[in-house]
Amino acid sequence: MANRMTISTAGTFRLDDRRSFRHPLAIATRVRELGGANFPIILRNLSAVGFQGECRTPLTVPSVIALNLPPLGEVRARVRWVRDEIVGAEFIERLEIEDVDRVLAAAPDPLLGQAPDPAADSAGA
């Protein structure tokens, strides 16, 4: 697949936000563009300001998406960039550090193995 990257400059993104500590993780969950159907995504890193994930379904820059972020529930974010199946998004409302800690506590350890494939449960979605 050809390497393609799309970047958005819309919104109030601040360069300092890119320096927010990114926690590696491996969470199989669901995402949807607003008004659309849910589909699988594997989160690969998380910070208070956004996330990076692997998603086979194309997302549009700069669409607003709803991410199921266990155990917080649905969190909205704006897609900032897409490169092949990798997506980067910025949360509409920055997460509190306590919320980041809750997500990390509930997540499997990414060093112990791969996250389960969310496509395996897509038939029940």
Interval 20-48: pLDDT, tens: 789 999 999 999 999 999 999 999 999 99
Is the model more confident about 3 or about 93?
A: 93
Contact predicate 93/16, CB 8 Å:
no
Tell me, what's the pLDDT at 112? 56
Contact predicate 40/51, CB 8 Å:
no
List the structure tokens of 81: 């960039």
Summarised one tens digit per residue, pLDDT across range 41-75 is 999 999 999 999 999 999 999 999 999 999 999 99
Contact predicate 99/91, CB 8 Å:
no
Burial of 117 (0-12, 13-18, 19+ CB in 10 A): exposed
Residue 125: pLDDT above 80? no
pTM of the model as a whole? 0.74
